[in-house]
């Protein structure tokens, strides 16, 4: 019998639920599953009620359902539109989303993405050389620096010689950090501009300053003689043309660019930090990975064109993304009409969300889910709705290939160049906006790298 109501959830107020979630999201979700099973309702202040999914069959319903019924853009826009606006692939729905996605996906096709591998490697190796040689240091800020410089070069087509590059880098970093780290985006009730010293007022002004630089760069790029041959994402967006012959306006290019910065910078940095943590905690995995990489490294250079063909590297990264979920919840869909899910008739205006953390720890999908086993992703990897790091359906992450390539390149450089060691006996995940990050930025120290010593001796 169908029930015209939402699945059960905590009786606490939206404010209390929001407080508990942001204090310890994993404990909050674990308690919900223990009390209500794998389908339950949560609510935060100023937000719609959200039904949390972590069963592959339920997720299949969400990811393969009609885009006219399930609005992902509206859900994303309720969080990110103060930064991205409402006119980008992330926040559009229906036919508008399909047309825009077709237009902007060119920079993220396989062959186009691979062209950036060399630049990614050069940036990563140079940055790693600058890491402290002695003492403890937090690794996450170092990964943020690498991800930021890769974005600056590959997405914006700029480097350290660009006029005002330091200010541009600073603003881009702040916008990306706000996009993933500010609770005010997740709780609309906190968005009050009370002047430049108020939390939301500061965000408004950072976005305004970033826009001034982005619009100036878009205008400059449109008249650049090199535009026709430039391969950075911004140049490709400027000269891109849809099937209807239309091109993106400056505002649309700005919105798409900011969405890419938000989606790609902080998330990639957090992912790289967790990959490093897993490799330091499990030396046998690191040594097997190093053995796979060594044949590609000759005369001090890594053949990055062959990284995509390395099965163990791919498996290590995907298992890290499973074992250390980047976000406790993600991938919202707003129901535009009632929807049947199991025995429930969910009302319109309900939001469906995915919990990768809960999904990726289901014992029937992953035996001993807390164990780190890259072998899970060798041979017959999990199906699309059992591993959802990059979402699913027609809203699967546009930059998935780009992100995986960046993870492969930077991880390879780190494994071959350093012998990092954990400088803390216990690594605890903590909430940082929508991300789960290592506490204290993951303190590490440099140890001895066997491959680096061997390469130096050979030269």
Task: State the binding site for heme.
Answer: 397
CA separation for the pair 407, 390 (Å, rounded): 14
153 φ, ψ (degrees, to nearest 5) = -80, -50
Cα 290 to Cα 117, 395, 413, 450: the distances in Å are 19, 34, 10, 10
d(CA 204, CA 195): 9
**Maximum Cα interatomic distance, the chain, rounded to a whole number of Å:** 74
378 burial (CB, 10 Å; 0-12 / 13-18 / 19+) is middle
* Rounded-to-10 torsion of CA 251, 256, 259, 261: -100
Binding site: residue ranges?
397
Q: By the 8 A CB rule, do 232 and 155 touch?
A: yes
The answer to whether 290 and 448 are in contact (CB under 8 A) is: no
Q: What is the CA radius of gyration of the chain?
A: 22
State the Cα–Cα distance between residues 292 and 50, nearest whole angstrom: 44
> CB count, 10 Å around CB of 230?
15
User: H or E stretch including 71?
Assistant: strand 70-71
Where is 40: in which H helix or E strand?
A: strand 39-42
Q: For the residues of 313-339, what is the DSSP string, one character each?
A: HHHHHHHHHHHT-S-SSEEEEEESS-E
Q: Is there a contact between 442 and 427 (Cβ–Cβ < 8 Å)?
A: yes
Signed CA dihedral, 312, 315, 317, 320: sign only: negative
Distance, in Å, from the CA atom of 156 to the CA atom of 119, rounded to the nearest integer, reads 13
Both tokens assigned to 285: 């995995």
DSSP state of 53: E
């Amino acid at each position: 019998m169908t029930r015209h109501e939402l699945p059960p959830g905590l009786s606490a107020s939206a404010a209390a639920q929001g407080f508990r979630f942001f204090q310890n999201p994993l404990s909050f979700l674990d308690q919900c599953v223990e009390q209500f099973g794998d389908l339950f309702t949560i609510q935060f202040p100023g937000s719609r009620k959200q039904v949390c999914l972590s069963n592959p069959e339920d997720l299949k319903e969400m990811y393969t359902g009609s885009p006219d019924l399930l609005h992902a853009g509206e859900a994303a826009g309720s969080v990110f539109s103060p930064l991205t606006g409402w006119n980008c692939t992330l926040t559009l729905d229906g036919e508008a989303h399909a047309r825009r996605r077709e237009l902007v996906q060119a920079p993220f096709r396989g062959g186009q993405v691979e062209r950036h591998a060399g630049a990614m490697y050069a940036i990563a190796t140079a940055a790693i050389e600058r890491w402290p040689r002695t003492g403890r240091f937090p690794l996450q800020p170092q990964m943020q620096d690498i991800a930021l410089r890769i974005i600056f070069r590959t997405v914006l087509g700029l480097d350290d010689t660009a006029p005002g590059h330091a200010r541009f880098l600073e603003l881009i970093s702040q916008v990306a950090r706000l996009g993933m780290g500010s609770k005010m985006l997740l709780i609309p009730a906190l968005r009050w501009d009370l002047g430049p010293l108020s939390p939301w007022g500061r965000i408004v002004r950072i976005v305004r300053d970033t826009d001034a630089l982005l619009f100036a760069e878009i205008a400059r790029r449109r008249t650049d003689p090199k535009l026709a041959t430039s391969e950075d994402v911004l140049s490709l967006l400027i000269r891109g043309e849809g099937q209807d012959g239309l091109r993106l306006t400056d505002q649309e290019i700005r919105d798409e660019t900011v969405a890419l910065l938000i989606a790609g910078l902080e998330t990639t940095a957090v992912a790289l930090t967790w990959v490093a943590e897993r490799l330091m905690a499990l030396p046998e995995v690191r040594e097997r990975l190093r053995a796979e990489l060594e044949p590609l490294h000759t005369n001090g250079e890594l053949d990055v064109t062959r990284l995509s063909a390395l099965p163990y590297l791919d498996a290590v990264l995907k298992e890290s993304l499973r074992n250390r979920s980047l976000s406790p919840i993600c991938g919202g869909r707003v129901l535009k009409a009632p929807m049947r899910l199991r025995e429930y008739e969910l009302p319109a205006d309900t939001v469906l969300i995915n919990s990768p953390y809960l999904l990726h720890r289901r014992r029937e999908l992953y035996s001993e889910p807390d164990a780190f086993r890259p072998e899970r992703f060798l041979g017959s990897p999990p199906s699309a709705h059992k591993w959802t790091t990059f979402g699913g359906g027609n809203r699967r992450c546009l930059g998935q290939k780009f992100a995986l390539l960046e993870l492969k390149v930077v991880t390879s450089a780190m494994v071959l160049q350093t012998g990092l060691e954990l400088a803390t006996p216990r690594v605890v995940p903590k909430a940082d906006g929508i991300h789960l990050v290592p506490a204290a930025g993951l303190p590490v120290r440099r140890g001895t790298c066997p491959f680096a010593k061997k390469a130096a001796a050979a030269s």
